[in-house]
Amino acid sequence: MGGRAVVEHTTTYVAFDSSKETLAVAIADGGMRGEVRFWGTIQNRAEAVRKLVERLAAKHPALSFCYEAGPCGYGLYRQIRSLGHPCTVVAPALVPTKPGGHIKTDRRDAAMLAALFRAGELQGVWVPDADHEAVRELVRARQTAMQEVRRSRQLLSFLLRHDRATPSRHHWTRAHRSWLARQGFAHPAEQVVFEELIQRIEVACARQDRLEDAIRKLLPAWSLAPVVIAIQALRGVAMLAAVTLVAEIGDFGRFASPRQLMAWLGLVPKEHSSGRTVAPGNITKAGNTRARRVLVEGAWTYRLPARMGEDITRRNQGLPEAIRAAAWKAQTRLCTRYRRLQNISKPQNVIVVAIARELAAFVWSIARMVPPTVPTA
């Protein structure tokens, strides 16, 4: 205990309130009663940060830095770590706030962050290495392109307004595209709109295809590729879904149990209980939206009986027996549970979310069987 107290007293805590152009700097001296003061504002540039760190290091024997995660990324984190000092990227949603505070400035925010950092009240986020961050950017770009494809396909609404209902229930098949190519409008304005909407779909689909091809080409060189390959043994987790999960979750080892991963994904129910009254609610949806969406989409496949189809068999080839056994156990368990919940008349969306929550546990279990090598950011 004495050694720990000495470390706490000799460590100086530095907090940044970051923005695009500037960094507001506050310092909290070691010890719970140490002074918390606003140091000043510097430019958000690498050279200015280097000079600040060197100046503070000359006066204080030990420094520890922090700043809130935001749109500026992790460049500041990596620079401070390269200069030999610890740095924490703080989760903004978990920063304690005082009720009734109506004045918010960079100076106040930096000072409050420094005081909370010294008190141990801040929770850091996992920072990906540069390679992982690059793959995650590519995956998110593909998701953005996919959303654009969905928006552009509102062409069907335009056709419906002009009494052009599609003859088939299955859209965007070869037959449906042939039917679209035969459509024409008497008024020139309507024809222009129709042609523009068709071109928008073609451009969006081409962009999505290019990004998916890039993911496939870059995947073998990624350090987490073995984890991507392993979790594809699960039903409902094909290549793009697996890449999305691994890119968004990153190091599965940071979750001590599957329950922690479920909570991080926002798949656990809310609860508002008091005394003997227990009031559970809907899922929190407080975690990673992209990973949660992939799991929910994959959960729909478990409405069918358990079986090893051609695609799943191909994805299981070459995997260790332990992973294949875990994937088959997941399939039999989740398919059975889906039917059981269906038999007691649970709403379908509730069933799918419950399956997605358990699917997350099996993803965690299989990913932990392939310990990834995650370089230091």
pLDDT digit string, tens, across residues 253-298: 899 999 999 999 999 988 788 777 877 778 888 888 999 999 999 9
- Determine the average pLDDT of the residues in 338-355: 94
Q: How far is CA 289 from CA 127, 135, 171, 239, in A?
A: 18, 17, 27, 19
Name the nearest CA neighbour of 191 among 167, 168, 158, 150.
158
**Model confidence at 218: pLDDT above 60:** yes
pLDDT confidence of 372, banded at 50, 70, 90? Answer: low
Give the pLDDT score at 101.
73
pLDDT confidence of 7, banded at 50, 70, 90? Answer: very low
Give the pLDDT score at 169.
81
Euclidean distance between the first and the last CA atom of the chain, given in angstroms as a whole number: 31
Name the nearest CA neighbour of 197 among 220, 164, 167.
164
**Model confidence at 223: pLDDT above 70:** yes
- Determine the average pLDDT of the residues in 206-219: 96
Give the pLDDT score at 93.
85
CA 30 from chain centre, in angstroms, equals: 35
**Model confidence at 32: pLDDT above 80:** no
CA 65 from chain centre, in angstroms, equals: 24
Give the pLDDT score at 3.
46
**Model confidence at 345: pLDDT above 50:** yes
The contacts of residue 185 (CB under 8 Å, 6+ apart) are 162, 191, 194
Give the pLDDT score at 9.
61
**Model confidence at 104: pLDDT above 90:** no
pLDDT confidence of 97, banded at 50, 70, 90? Answer: confident
Give the pLDDT score at 17.
95
pTM metric for this prediction: 0.86
Collapsing DSSP states into helix, strand and coil, what is residue 90?
strand
Give the pLDDT score at 2.
44
Using CA atoms in the order 45, 47, 49, 52, what is the torsion angle rounded to 10 degrees? Answer: -140
Domain with CATH 3.30.420.10 in the chain: 2-119
Q: Which CATH superfamily is domain 2-119 in?
A: Ribonuclease H-like superfamily/Ribonuclease H (3.30.420.10)
Hey, what are 301's tokens? 């496949």
Residue 368 CB neighbour total at 10 angstroms = 15
Give the pLDDT score at 209.
96
